């Protein structure tokens, strides 16, 4: 329902090529392609409402009445309340990140490199695809890509440290592929399978991302495209920047690895 084609596409609206529907003249109604928070909260609240009705609707009517009431309430609530409010929150995150990119002295890289993977946990990071499109269109380059690449590489470095330090075969079998996945640009296995499980490795990964992002911002590293990071991301820096790009990722991985190995993980089997 949130991505119904009968609703104005969120990306088209963001580009200014379509207008949102107006409910009661002031509540904007759009599709939520690329949004995560509206769907998350709709599911969470919908589950609570379903439990409420399950306890009160007679069993003979439950199969028909409960789903109907839950969907009726959540469709209305999502389109006219949750969706607009949470979409506004996502826009604040988007605008805040765009403003951070303008900070001097490497601060933009330090902040974005550190906090990016926290945003990844919420799923809201998908909105940054549009930010990268805007940067490429307006600037001809993408200074956001090396910052998130640093944050991704660092989580892989933290997971790799866990794998190296752990004596448990199962943990090694989980940590090594997860770190490889991060080095290919996908951090969810490393974050949810390893780093968040122990807490400190995730924090050390954030520090590594901040360190690498700081360096990337200092040297004004800029990608020529988007959508790939860390090892595949090399394709976006096949110019005089390639050595800086490799160094940024090495710094991120090494910082997260060393901090995790020394302070962030205690082997449970030892």
Residue 247 CB neighbour total at 10 angstroms: 15
pTM for the whole thing?
0.78
Range of lowest pLDDT (63-77, 87-101, 137-151, 191-205): 87-101
3-state secondary structure 100-159: HCCCCCCHHHHHHHHHHHHHHHHCHHHHHHHHHHHHHHHHCCECHHHHHHHHHHHHHHHH
Q: Averaged over 39-60, what is the pLDDT? A: 92
Q: Where are the domains of the chain?
A: 10-93, 107-264
- Asked if 65 and 77 count as a contact pair (C-beta separation under 8 A), the reply is no
Spatial distance between the Cα atoms of 257 and 253, rounded to a whole number of angstroms: 6
Residue (of 40, 8, 230) closest to 122 by Cα position: 40
Q: What is the pLDDT of residues 149-182, one digit of tens each?
A: 999 999 999 999 999 999 999 999 999 999 999 9
pLDDT for position 111: 96
Q: What is the mean pLDDT of residues 7-16?
A: 77
pLDDT at 35: 74
Mean pLDDT for all residues in the chain: 90
Q: What distance in Å separates the CA atoms of residue 74 and residue 110, rounded to the nearest whole number?
A: 40
Confirm if 47 and 59 have CB atoms less than 8 A apart: no
Q: With 50 as the cut, is the pLDDT of residue 270 above it?
A: no
Which of 74-88, 124-138, 190-204 is least confident?
124-138
């Amino acid at each position: 329902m949130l991505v119904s084609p009968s609703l104005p596409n969120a990306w088209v609206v963001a580009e200014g090529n379509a207008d949102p529907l107006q409910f009661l003249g002031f509540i904007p109604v759009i599709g939520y392609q690329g949004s995560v928070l509206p769907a998350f909260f709709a599911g969470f609240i919908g589950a609570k409402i379903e439990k409420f009705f399950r306890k009160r609707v007679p069993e003979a009517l439950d199969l028909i009445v409960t789903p109907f009431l839950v969907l009726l309430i959540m469709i209305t609530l999502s389109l006219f309340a949750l969706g607009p409010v949470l979409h506004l929150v996502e826009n604040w995150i988007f605008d805040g990140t765009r403003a951070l990119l303008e900070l001097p002295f490497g601060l933009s890289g330090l902040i974005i490199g550190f906090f990016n993977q926290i945003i990844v946990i919420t799923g809201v990071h998908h909105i940054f695809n549009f930010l990268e499109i805007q940067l490429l269109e307006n600037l001809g380059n993408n200074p956001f890509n090396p910052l998130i690449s640093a944050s991704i590489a660092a989580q892989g470095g933290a997971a790799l440290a866990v794998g190296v330090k752990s004596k448990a075969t199962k943990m090694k079998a989980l940590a090594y592929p997860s770190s490889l996945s991060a080095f290919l640009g996908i951090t969810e296995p490393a974050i949810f399978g390893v780093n968040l499980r122990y807490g400190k490795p995730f924090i050390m990964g954030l520090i590594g991302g901040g360190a690498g992002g700081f360096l990337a911002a200092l040297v004004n590293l800029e990608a020529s495209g988007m959508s790939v990071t860390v090892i595949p991301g090399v394709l976006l820096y096949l110019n005089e920047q390639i050595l800086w790009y490799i160094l940024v990722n090495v710094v991120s991985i090494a910082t997260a690895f060393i901090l995790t190995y020394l302070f962030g993980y205690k082997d449970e089997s030892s």
